[in-house]
C-alpha cells in the first residue's frame, strides 16, 4: 500500500476562506478583533510559528502584535504584560508561545490570562470546559488535526461519524497544549482512545500501543520517532511534530516525528511535515481570535 499524502496547504487555503467570512460578519456586528502573541526568549519552533502567524494574520487582515520579552524576564514582568493585554479592548486574543524558559511556572502564566482572550484554551477554566466536552475554544493544534482528518474523510466520501465511532485513535504525546486536547476531542467523536507518553518508549512498548491505532496522531517532538514498524497497515497517520534540525551544510530544516519515507509504504494516508497540520494551525488560531471578539461582545 502506498499512502496518500494529505495536502495541508490546500486544506488551510479553504479554511482561510471560511475565516474571512466569519471575520466580515463579526466586524459587521461591531466585533473588535486583534491577536497579541507573547514570546519569552528564543526557540526555533516558536519562531517558525510566529512567522506563520504574522503572515496569516496579514493575509486575513486581522491585526497582530508581537510582544517579545527577554528570556530572563522575571515572572512579575510577564504577568504584568498579560494584565495589560487583558485590559486592552483592541486585543481579543492572547497567545503565549511555548516553551517558556524554565524559571517560569507555565500554569501560573496561563492562569493569568483573561479566559475570554485565551484563544489556545490553556487557562484552567477553558481547559476544564474542553475536558468536559463543552469547549469555549478548540485549541488550534488539536483543532487542525481533526480539521485535516475531516477534510480527508470528506474527500474520500467517508461518513465522519461512522468512521470515528468505528476507529481506535492512538495519541503519542500528552502535553496540555497538544496531546491532551487531541484526546478530549477524540472522546467527543466517540472513538476508542489510547494515550501514550515517553514512558511507553522507555518501556519498549511504544509499537504495541501505536500498532493498534486506526488513526495515529503523533505529537512528541522527537524526529523520526514513528517508523513503519510502529504503524498498523492501512492506518491514517497525522504527524504534528515540528522539529528544527540541521540539514546539509548546517541549513535549518523542519521535520516531523514520523519517518514519512518508510511509513508511506504502510499507511492509508499520512500528513507530511512541512505542509500537513502546521499550515492549518495558524488559520485556526486566527479563527479563534475572531470568535473571541464575538465572546467579548456578549460579555460587555
Ligand X SMILES: Nc1nc(=O)c2c([nH]1)NC[C@@H]1CN(c3ccc(C(=O)N[C@@H](CCC(=O)O)C(=O)O)cc3)C=[N+]21
Does 6 appear as a known binding residue?
Answer: no
Site for ligand NDP in 10-69 (CB under 6 A): 45
What DSSP assignment string belongs to 184-225? Answer: HHHHHTT-EEEEE-HHHHHTT-HHHHHTT-SEEEE-S--TT-
The binder of 275, among ligand X, ligand NDP, none, by C-beta within 5 to 8 A per type, is ligand X
Site for ligand X in 65-84 (CB under 6 A): none
Least distance to ligand X, CB of residue 118, Å = 11
Considering the complex, state which of residue 62 and residue 277 has its C-beta at the smaller distance from ligand NDP: 277
Site for ligand NDP in 232-271 (CB under 6 A): 240-243
Residue 247's Cβ-count burial label (10 Å; 0-12, 13-18, 19+) is: exposed
Query: 76: phi > 0 → left, psi -120 to 50 → alpha, else beta; which?
Result: alpha
Considering the complex, state which of residue 26 and residue 210 has its C-beta at the smaller distance from ligand NDP: 210
CA distance 107 to 72: 18
Please check whether residue 236 is in contact with residue 152, taking contact to mean a CB–CB distance below 8 angstroms.
yes
Does 30 appear as a known binding residue?
Answer: no
Question: Helix or strand or coil: residue 5?
Answer: strand
First to last CA, the chain: 55
The DSSP code for 283 is H
CA distance 160 to 153: 6
Residue 106 interacts with ligand NDP (CB under 6 A)?
A: no
Residue 45 interacts with ligand X (CB under 6 A)?
A: yes
Encoded one letter per residue, x for contact with ligand NDP by CB under 6 A and - for no contact, window 166-195 reads: ------xxxx-xxx----------------
Does 242 appear as a known binding residue?
Answer: yes
The DSSP code for 68 is E
Does 175 appear as a known binding residue?
Answer: yes
Residue 143 interacts with ligand NDP (CB under 6 A)?
A: no
Residue 289 interacts with ligand X (CB under 6 A)?
A: no
Residue 223 interacts with ligand NDP (CB under 6 A)?
A: no
The binder of 175, among ligand NDP, ligand X, none, by C-beta within 5 to 8 A per type, is ligand NDP
Residues that bind ligand NDP (CB under 6 A): 45, 98, 141, 144, 172-175, 177-179, 196-201, 206, 219-222, 225, 240-243, 277-278, 281
Amino acid at each position: 500500500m502506498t499512502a496518500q499524502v494529505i495536502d495541508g496547504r490546500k486544506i488551510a487555503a479553504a479554511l482561510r476562506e471560511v475565516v474571512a467570512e466569519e471575520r466580515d460578519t463579526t466586524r459587521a456586528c461591531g466585533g473588535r478583533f486583534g491577536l497579541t502573541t507573547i514570546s519569552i526568549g528564543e526557540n526555533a519552533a516558536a519562531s517558525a510559528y510566529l512567522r506563520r502567524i504574522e503572515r496569516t494574520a496579514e493575509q486575513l487582515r486581522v491585526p497582530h502584535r508581537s510582544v517579545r520579552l527577554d528570556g530572563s524576564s522575571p515572572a512579575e514582568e510577564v504577568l504584568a504584560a498579560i494584565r495589560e493585554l487583558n485590559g486592552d479592548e483592541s486585543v481579543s486574543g492572547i497567545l503565549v508561545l511555548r516553551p517558556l524558559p524554565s524559571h517560569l511556572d507555565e500554569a501560573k502564566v496561563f492562569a493569568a490570562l483573561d479566559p475570554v482572550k485565551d484563544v489556545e484554551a490553556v487557562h484552567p477554566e477553558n481547559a476544564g470546559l474542553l475536558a468536559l466536552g463543552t469547549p469555549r475554544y478548540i485549541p488550534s493544534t488539536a483543532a487542525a488535526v481533526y480539521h485535516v482528518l475531516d477534510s480527508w474523510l470528506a474527500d474520500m466520501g467517508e461518513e465522519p461519524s461512522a468512521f470515528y465511532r468505528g476507529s481506535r485513535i492512538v495519541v503519542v504525546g500528552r502535553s496540555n497544549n497538544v496531546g491532551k486536547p487531541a484526546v478530549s476531542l477524540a472522546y467527543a467523536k466517540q472513538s476508542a482512545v489510547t494515550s501514550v507518553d515517553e514512558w511507553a518508549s522507555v518501556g519498549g512498548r511504544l509499537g504495541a500501543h501505536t500498532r493498534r491505532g486506526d488513526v495515529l496522531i503523533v505529537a512528541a517532538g522527537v524526529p523520526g520517532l514513528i517508523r513503519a514498524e510502529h504503524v498498523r497497515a492501512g492506518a491514517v497517520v497525522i504527524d504534528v511534530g515540528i522539529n528544527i534540525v540541521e540539514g546539509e551544510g548546517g541549513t535549518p530544516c523542519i521535520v516531523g516525528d514520523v519517518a514519512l519515507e518508510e511509513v508511506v509504504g504502510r499507511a492509508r494516508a499520512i500528513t507530511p511535515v512541512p505542509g500537513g497540520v502546521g499550515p492549518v494551525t495558524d488559520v485556526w488560531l486566527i479563527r479563534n481570535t475572531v470568535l473571541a471578539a464575538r465572546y467579548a461582545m456578549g460579555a460587555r
